[in-house]
Structure 1
Amino acid sequence: MQPPQSESELMQRAADLAGFTLGEISHEHGIACPADLSREKGWVGMLLETCLGATAGSKPEQDFAHLGIELKTIPVNAHGKPLETTFVCVAPLTGISGVQWEHSHVRHKLSRVLWVPVEGERTIPLAERRIGTPLLWSPSREEDAQLRADWEELMDLIALGRVNDITARHGQYLQLRPKAANSHALTDAFGEKGEPIKTLPRGFYLRTQFTHHILSRFFVS
C-alpha cells in the first residue's frame, strides 16, 4: 500500500476499514491472522499500518512522518472503553540533560494521533473483532499542560537517579512502566549517587482514563 498523500486521504482509508473484521481485512491483504495475540501483541497495529500505508516501520518517528501523524490502535470493550494502556515510546534513561518537553519524543509522537478503536474483548475471536470509526486528535491546551507536567515529573526522577522508585502511581495521564521482553533485557541508567546501574528498559504509556477521555470527546455513548 502506497503512503497516503494527504491527511484527508489517510482519514478516508481509515474510515473505509470501519465495520470490517480483522479477519476480513487480513485476508484481503494476504496476511495470516493468528488465533490470538498471546505471542503476537503488536499484530493488530502492524495490520493497520499495512492497510493504511504507514512508512515508519521500526524507525523512531511518526507512522506517517510526511503528514506528522502517529497511528494508534486501541482495544475497546462493548461500551467503547479502552481495555489497556497505550504505549507511546521508549523512555531515555541516559543523556537526558537539557531535554525540554517541547522537543521531547513523547510530545512529537502525541502532537497528532490517528486513533483506530478495535474490539478487544477476549470473548470475541481475534478474526471476528471489528474495526471502529477512526478519529484524528491533537492535545488541547489543558491536555498538553498535564502531559507536560507528568513528563517533567518522570524525567526529573530519572535525572535524580530514582528510576527504580517510579511506580504506576506517578503521572496523571502519562506513566512510566518497564518495557522488556524478559527480566534479562537490561539497559544503562544512573543511580542516586550518579553511579552507572543496569535496569529494565522503560516506556511511556497513556493511562486508560486519559484515552477514554479522548474517545469520549468524539463519541458520545
Structure 2
Amino acid sequence: MMRVKLAFFSFGLLLLTAGISLIVKGNLGAAPWDALAIGESQLFHLSIGMCIFINGCLLIIVNSILLSERIDFFAALSIFLIGMLVNFWISYGFINISPSGLLEQFSFTMIGIIMLGVGISIYLQARLPSSPMDTFMVALHKRFGLNLNNARLLTEAIAVTLAVIFQGAVGVGTFLVACTLGFVIHFFYPIMEKIYDRWTFN
C-alpha cells in the first residue's frame, strides 16, 4: 500500500515539475502560479523554486482557513520538493532545450500542460500532503461546491492577477494553462484514480 502511494507521489511530482519547466522553457508565458514566482524571483533575487516554496507556505495558511482545519505543516514538504525539482529541471534537466520558433514554443507549452495535468492527477491519488496550490483547488471545490475544472480556473485567475501585479512571466501561454489545465485534470483524475485503486487492491 505505502509502496504504491510513494510511487504515485514521486512519479507525479517528477512529471508535474517537468511540465512546469517545459512551459517556462516555451517562453510564451508560464503557468499562473509559476508566472508569479518568476516575477518574485526577479524582484527579490531568489530562485524560482524558492519563490514557489514561499508562495506555497502562504497558501497553506489560506487552505487551513477555507477547510476549517489545522495548518498542514507537512504540506510544506511537498511544495519544497516541487520548488527544488523545478530548479533542477530548469537548471540541469532541460538546460540545453530551447525552442527555435513559435511552433516549438507552442508545442513545449502544450506538452507541458498535459504533463502538468497528468502529474497532478497522479500524485494526488497518494493522498499524501499535496502542493498547497492543488489543495487550494480542492479547498475551493469542497467549500463552494465547484467542480474541479471551475475550481482550477478560479485559482488560476487569482494567480494571474498576482503575477501581473508582480510583473511575472504572463503571456499567451499563461492563459492557455489557465483555460486548459483544469480540463486536463478533470479528464485524467478519474482515470488515475481507477489505476491507483486497481494497484492498491491487487
Q: Please give the range of the TM-score, normalised by the shorter of the 2 chains.
A: under 0.3
Normalised by the length of structure 2, the TM-score is: 0.28
**Structure possessing the higher radius of gyration over alpha carbons:** 1
Normalized per residue, the structure richer in helix is 2
Larger RCO of the pair (alpha carbons < 8 Å, separation 6+): 2
Normalised by the length of structure 1, the TM-score is: 0.26
Normalized per residue, the structure richer in strand is 1
